Structure 1
Amino acid sequence: MQTFHHLARGIFIKDKKVLLAKAEGYNNTFLPGGHIEFGESAKEALVREIEEELGIESIVVNFIGLVEH
């Protein structure tokens, strides 16, 4: 049985630069964010993950889209 991983990611732009994350030992980069917990909205998950990972408070301004893979 395959499990589903629902993720919320955010785009941070400052001085025409986009913030990307990179896990140690991996070559790929990704947008900051993380897993959505059961019963949590994507918006709530993104705010929580940004607080956990970056230690900053954030506000979700716009929903841009969804990717299914």
Structure 2
Amino acid sequence: MNAAIGLSLIILFSLGVPIAISIVLASIIGIEFFSPLPLLLVPQQMFVGIDSFPLMAIPFFILAGNLMSAGGISR
């Protein structure tokens, strides 16, 4: 599985596909061909993985810091 994902990443990079899209496509290829889960269950499993308040608080604290910095309240 790791070799297939790595090979698909190399192919996508050589075709000039942006890095973020290449990573997403390589992940989808790996999940589709090497995972017993149907592709429709993947978003649900991803949400279950981040469905905890401490993990969700980290990005929101970063967002709050960026908003305070842009608004000038953090001076």
Q: Is TM (by shorter chain) over 0.5?
A: no
Higher relative contact order (CA 8 A, sep 6+): 1
Using the size of structure 1 for normalisation, the TM-score is 0.28
Higher strand proportion, which one? 1
Using the size of structure 2 for normalisation, the TM-score is 0.26
Higher helix proportion, which one? 2
Larger radius of gyration: 2
